[in-house]
């Protein structure tokens, strides 16, 4: 397998950084590889720590009657367009996955989240786009209630929170930009009477 000889930090930002890796490929030839990361210092890169620590949370929230799923329609600079996503955000120091999820849902949508008690396997951090970043996110499942509001959004966020039924879920999947982390759960919601059936702790 390939080996990493040296790590060169390319940027020094708060939320996202670029690192250049000097590598030796499996054939013995030398090359370079570029990695983006939430890590502010190379000592915190997952290729250094070899620990899959969650950077953020992704929340799959539905209404208690199981009839609507919570999505956010958000403007994203990398594609200069709006895309449908599940609510998500970074985990603050000292927060659990579920605490972070409750906070993020409220900040982005104004709604309250009641996290579901699931087998920890389903909440385990998973890599988002491992070919280009070491970012890892935990998933949190739960019921959402209350009234949608933009009151708690940050100035930099362009987010429209929506509760959509199964028919609208299918339309969004067919016609709109949808983040990969959202698409699987939206597909599941659209065709399953109880999307949480397999996740609840037995």
Q: What is the pLDDT of residues 116-126, one digit of tens each?
A: 999 999 999 99
Can you tell me the mean pLDDT for 27-33? 95
Q: How far apart are CA 91 and CA 97, in angstroms?
A: 7
pLDDT higher than threshold 80 for residue 202: no
Can you tell me the mean pLDDT for 28-40? 96
- 72 contacts: CB under 8 Å, gap ≥ 6: 84, 85, 86, 87, 108, 109, 159, 160, 161, 162
What global pTM score does this model have?
0.93
Q: Which pLDDT does position 198 carry in this prediction?
A: 85
Pairing of strands 88-90, 112-115: unpaired
Q: Which pLDDT does position 154 carry in this prediction?
A: 79
Residue with tokens 């982005």: 108
In total, the chain counts a number of residues equal to: 202
Can you tell me the mean pLDDT for 5-20? 96
Average predicted confidence (pLDDT) for the chain: 95
Q: What is the pLDDT of residues 182-191, one digit of tens each?
A: 999 999 999 9
């Amino acid at each position: 397998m390939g080996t990493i000889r040296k790590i060169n930090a390319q940027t020094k930002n708060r939320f996202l950084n670029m690192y250049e890796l000097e590598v030796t490929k499996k054939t013995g030839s030398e090359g370079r590889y570029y990695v983006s990361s939430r890590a502010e210092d190379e000592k915190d890169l997952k290729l250094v720590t070899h620990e899959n620590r969650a950077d953020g949370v992704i929340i799959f929230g539905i209404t208690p009657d199981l009839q609507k799923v919570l999505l956010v329609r958000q403007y994203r600079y990398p594609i200069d367009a709006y895309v449908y996503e599940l609510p998500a955000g970074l985990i603050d120091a000292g927060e659990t996955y579920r605490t972070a999820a409750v906070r993020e849902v409220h900040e982005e949508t104004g709604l309250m989240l009641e996290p579901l008690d699931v087998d920890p396997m389903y909440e385990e951090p998973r890599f988002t786009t491992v070919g280009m970043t070491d970012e890892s996110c935990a998933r949190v499942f739960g019921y959402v209630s209350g009234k949608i509001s933009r009151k708690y959004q940050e100035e930099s966020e362009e987010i429209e929170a929506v509760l959509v039924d199964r028919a609208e879920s299918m339309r969004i999947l067919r016609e709109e930009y949808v983040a990969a982390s959202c698409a699987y759960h939206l597909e599941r919601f659209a065709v399953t009477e109880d999307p949480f059936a397999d996740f609840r702790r037995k």
